[in-house]
Amino acid sequence: MTFIAGEQHDPATLLAASKLIAELSGREIAARVRDLVDANDLWRRQRCVNLIAAESPTSPMVQALLASEVGTRASGGHIGPISRCFPGMRYIDEIEAICIELLKDLFNAGFADQRLMGGMDGCGVAYTSLTAVGDVMMSIPVTAGGDTSGRPDGPARVRGLRIHDVPFDSSEFAVDLDAFRREAERLLPALISINQATTLFPLPVNSMKEIVAPWDGRVYFDAAHQAGLIASGCYPNPLAEGADLLTGSGGKTFSGPQSGIIAWNKESLSLPITETIFPVLTGSHQLNRVAALAVAAAEMRTYGPEYMSYVVANARALAKALHERGMPVAAAHLGFTQTHQVLVDVRQWGGGLAVAQQLERANIMVNKMLLPSEMNELGGIRIGTVEVTRYGMDTTTMSTIADLMHRVVVRKESPELVARDVQELRSAFQDLRFCFPVPPAS
């Protein structure tokens, strides 16, 4: 994610909500919340072209499980009758065990855990279990596409880590390995944290691990955005390349519930990792989410290679189409992208925030993003192709989407008029692909 210092909740929005609840009864407040949920569903799920790289639609079965009875049950402790805090877990133990084994299979890992409630929780587990207070850590700077999860304003701050930059060639979207070697040998970091908000190409995990191995330095890969690509074989597996720990999001490319994923291979790490997960960072850990994550993992195991290959093909096609229409797309000389993400320079049209807001009025969702070497300007937009792919859009549709974006951003057509064409396009793509049907009620 990209975070600007000083940002907080909008006071005007909170004030409006405060006035609303002062005027309504409890029943009326509940009805208002339900109406807002339905309105969001109509707009975002049925009428919008969603190109937010951090989002993906969950399947009907995953959605159904998120509302299941199992979510009312407390879940403290570890799998098995001895380690649980509560009785009555015979079915829940099996659900959680299935989830773990699926994650191990997808990431070719010896160990995995299902209890993290978000990807950022995974970062907290990594820093707590792999470092000591005050250790040196190197991570990719935000100005090179790094995520705040690996920077001083993220969870590493709680651990008191001394954070230094991984040298990065922003023009090539690659780690500068020679400079990295020099810096790493000077600093002797305990941990290398690879956290990317903008991830267009794989990074040299194997080479980085070889550089820090002489002093037992560890490599942690935050696969928040790449988890589905890795699980499907469309992105190199960091664990196979020497990373000590992998975490990720159950959403984004993995296309499951908002959730966390963690996997590793070294048995010596199991105790510090699991003890950090429970009881330090989780108590009861949302069993409905675990059940939903298990089904999402089973869907990824079944459909992932085809699904994710289409996602990457669509990203490259959309990038090429935007580039051909005069919108500067990052890494054009490298083929634009090898992931689900595309980065576009929109500074000449007002910058990332202004352009994202214009496109939102046209029912096209993108998010503002730093360009390489920017500090706080947010001159770009980041685009992702997971959601549109799961709704059945192909490379030909990407050209149509590029036309719609060009009309709003470059030709300055009325976003509200373009929204009509966006809604017409979206009406033809309402059914989710790459997922199991919901079975009939027993």
pLDDT at 376: 79
Rounded Cα distance, 257 and 124, in Å: 19
- pLDDT of amino acid 91: 96
What is the predicted pLDDT for the residue at 35?
A: 96
Class of domain 50-58+304-427: alpha beta
Strand-strand pairing, 364-365 and 136-139: unpaired
The total of other beta-carbon atoms located within 10 Å of residue 440's CB is 5
Residue closest to 321 by CA, chosen among 332, 309, 333 = 332
Nearest 5°: phi and psi at 16? -60, -40
So where are the chain's domains? 50-58+304-427, 61-297
- Amino acid 6: pLDDT: 55
Q: 61-297: same fold as 50-58+304-427?
A: no
The neighbouring-strand residues paired with 165 are 139
This model's pTM is above 0.85? yes
Task: Write out pLDDT tens, residues 314-348.
Answer: 999 999 999 999 999 999 999 999 999 999 999 99
pLDDT value at position 229?
Answer: 98
3-state secondary structure the chain: CCCCCCCCCCHHHHHHHHHHHHHCCHHHHHHHHHHHHHHHHHHHHCCCEECCCCCCCCCHHHHHHHCCHHHHCCCCECCCCCCECCCCCHHHHHHHHHHHHHHHHHCCCCEEECCCCCHHHHHHHHHHHHCCCCCEEEECCHHHCECHHHCCCCCHHHHCCEEEECCEECCCCEECHHHHHHHHHHHCCCEEEEEECCCCCCCCHHHHHHHHHHHCCEEEEEECCCHHHHHCCCCCCCCCCCCCEEEEECCHHHCCCCCEEEEECCHHHHHHHHHHHHHHHCCCCCHHHHHHHHHHHHHHHHHHHHHHHHHHHHHHHHHHHHHHCCCCECCHHHCCCCCCEEEEECHHHCCHHHHHHHHHHCCEECEEECCCCCCCCCCEEEEECHHHHHCCCCHHHHHHHHHHHHHHHCCCCCHHHHHHHHHHHHHCCCCCCCCCCCCCCC
CB atoms inside a 10 Å sphere around CB 44: 16
Residue recorded with tokens 């991830």: 199
CA atoms within 13 A on the CB side of 38: 6
Cα separation of 284 and 300, whole Å? 26
* Residue 321 burial (C-beta neighbours within 10 Å; 0-12, 13-18, 19+): buried
Separation of alpha carbons 198 and 224, rounded Å: 11
Q: At what angle do helices 11-23 and 26-40 cross, to 10 degrees?
A: 130
Give the pLDDT confidence score for residue 5 in this predicted structure: 53
Q: What average pLDDT values come out for the chain (442 residues) when binned by 10 residues?
A: 66 94 95 96 97 97 96 91 90 97 98 94 95 97 92 89 96 96 98 97 98 98 98 98 98 97 97 94 92 98 98 98 98 98 98 98 97 88 98 98 98 98 98 87 59
Q: How many CB atoms lie within 10 A of CB 105?
A: 14
Tokens of 16: 């409006």
Residue type at position 30? A
Q: Are 198 and 369 in contact (CB under 8 A)?
A: yes
The predicted pLDDT at position 4 comes to 53
Structure tokens at 340: 């689900």
Question: Omega of the bond prior to 279 within 30 degrees of 0, cis?
Answer: yes
* pLDDT, tens only, 207-233: 999 999 999 999 999 999 999 999 999
Burial class (CB in 10 A: 0-12, 13-18, 19+), 211: buried
Domain 61-297 coded CATH 3.30.420.10: no
Q: What are phi and psi of 260, to 5 degrees?
A: -120, 155
Specify the pLDDT at position 373: 81
